């Protein structure tokens, strides 16, 4: 009895079921690795900047004369000293703290003003209220933000303003002026988020059962709009640090002897000619690291928080 062996041909694999080429897997892996590296780099830069601005200023007097003149960086004075003998590290830490306070204050004030405006404009989309708010914001955006802030600061002047027992210095005025420049930016984000949320079924359902529009805005839509706003706050802080530095560099910011990163770099111009290179390098490096840290952390939040939220909604 003869046994016949029949060869079994493998079933053809559909092109749709075929595995993706390895090169695409490698692209995804490299992209994930780069994003992960950028995120951790941002966290490291942000941590370094915050440590300089907070811990670095403890127990240090930025106005104290510690040497007889400019000295290069050493173990005793990490960032060297300026031509008056003041420690550059202490002044850089104090300047970073001042720049950080101004930036955080202006972003917080801008969000407090812009989010209600933007959400109300989005809720009243297509109506007169929306037109009035958006035309006002467009008027504020007629000039670039930095030019607009310079214009406002020149109007209010640089002298202290006395209101009763209170004296308003230059720092709060810069924060308010920068906040006004950021209002259109955050208002548009809040308005766009509100328009997106109004298309969701839960809003129509709440309106059908008689829930008041104030409750819908403050309890439902607000919660879903704010994550996008908070993510953009990191970018806003980075821009505010740069803007404050630019204003101080031009002489429109906080005046010496109080230190900010901008006026430290401005003061360094005359000292670089004399060979004191460290007086501009270190404050400028701290500013760049802070701006880079806030930018990268903001991008990471945008990719991880908002990106995962969008995938969950699509699923």
Domain chopping of the chain, boundaries: 40-67+77-314
Range in 68-72, 233-237, 272-276 with the lowest mean pLDDT: 272-276
Fold of 40-67+77-314: MetI-like fold (1.10.3720)
Q: What is the pTM of this model?
A: 0.79
Q: Give the whole-angstrom CA distance, residue 298 versus residue 94.
A: 25
Which residues touch 279 (CB under 8 Å, ≥6 apart)?
70, 80, 82, 88, 264, 267, 268, 271, 272
Judge contact between 66 and 256, C-beta under 8 A: no
CA 146 and chain centroid, separation: 15
Judge contact between 276 and 11, C-beta under 8 A: no
Which residues touch 310 (CB under 8 Å, ≥6 apart)?
none
Q: Is the pLDDT of residue 43 over 60?
A: yes
Q: Is the pLDDT of residue 260 over 70?
A: yes
What confidence score (pLDDT) does residue 289 get?
93
Q: Is the pLDDT of residue 16 over 80?
A: no
Q: Give the whole-angstrom CA distance, residue 44 versus residue 243.
A: 23
Confidence of residue 149 (pLDDT cuts 50, 70, 90): confident
Backbone angle region of 10, left / alpha / beta, with phi > 0 → left and psi within -120 to 50 → alpha: beta
Percentage, residues of the chain above pLDDT 70:
80
What confidence score (pLDDT) does residue 35 get?
64
**CA-CA distances (angstroms) from residue 93 to 96, 97, 253, 264, 283?**
5, 6, 17, 11, 9
pLDDT tens digit sequence for 158-179:
666 666 666 677 788 888 888 9
Average pLDDT, the chain: 80
Confidence of residue 312 (pLDDT cuts 50, 70, 90): very low
């Amino acid at each position: 009895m003869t046994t016949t062996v029949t060869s079994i041909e493998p079933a053809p694999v559909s092109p749709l079921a075929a595995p993706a080429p390895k090169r695409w897997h490698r692209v995804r892996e490299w992209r994930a690795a780069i994003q992960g590296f950028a995120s951790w780099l941002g966290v490291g830069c942000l941590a370094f900047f915050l440590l300089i601005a907070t811990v670095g200023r403890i127990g240090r007097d930025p106005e104290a004369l510690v040497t007889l003149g400019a000295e290069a960086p050493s173990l005793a004075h990490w960032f060297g000293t300026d031509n008056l003998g003041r420690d550059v590290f202490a002044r850089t830490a104090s300047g970073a703290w001042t720049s950080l306070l101004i930036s955080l204050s202006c972003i917080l004030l801008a969000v407090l003003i812009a989010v209600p405006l933007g959400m109300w404009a989005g809720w009243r989309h297509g109506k007169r209220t929306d037109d009035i708010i958006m035309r006002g914001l467009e008027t504020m955006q007629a000039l670039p933000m930095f030019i607009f802030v310079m214009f406002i600061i020149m109007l209010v002047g640089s002298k202290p303003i006395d209101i009763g027992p209170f004296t308003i210095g230059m720092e709060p005025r810069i924060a308010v002026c920068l906040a006004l420049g950021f209002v259109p930016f955050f208002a548009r984000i809040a308005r766009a988020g509100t328009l997106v949320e109004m298309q969701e079924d839960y809003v129509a359902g709440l309106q059908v059962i008689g829930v008041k529009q104030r409750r819908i805005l403050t309890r439902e839509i607000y919660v879903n709009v704010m994550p996008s706003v908070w993510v953009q706050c990191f970018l806003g802080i980075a821009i505010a640090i740069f803007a404050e530095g630019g204003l101080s560099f031009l002489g429109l910011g906080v005046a010496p002897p109080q230190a900010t990163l901008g006026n430290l770099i401005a003061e360094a111009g005359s000292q670089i000619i004399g060979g004191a290179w460290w007086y501009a390098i270190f404050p400028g490096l701290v500013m760049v690291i802070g701006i880079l840290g806030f930018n990268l952390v903001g991008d990471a939040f945008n990719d991880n928080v908002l990106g995962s939220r969008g995938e969950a909604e699509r699923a």
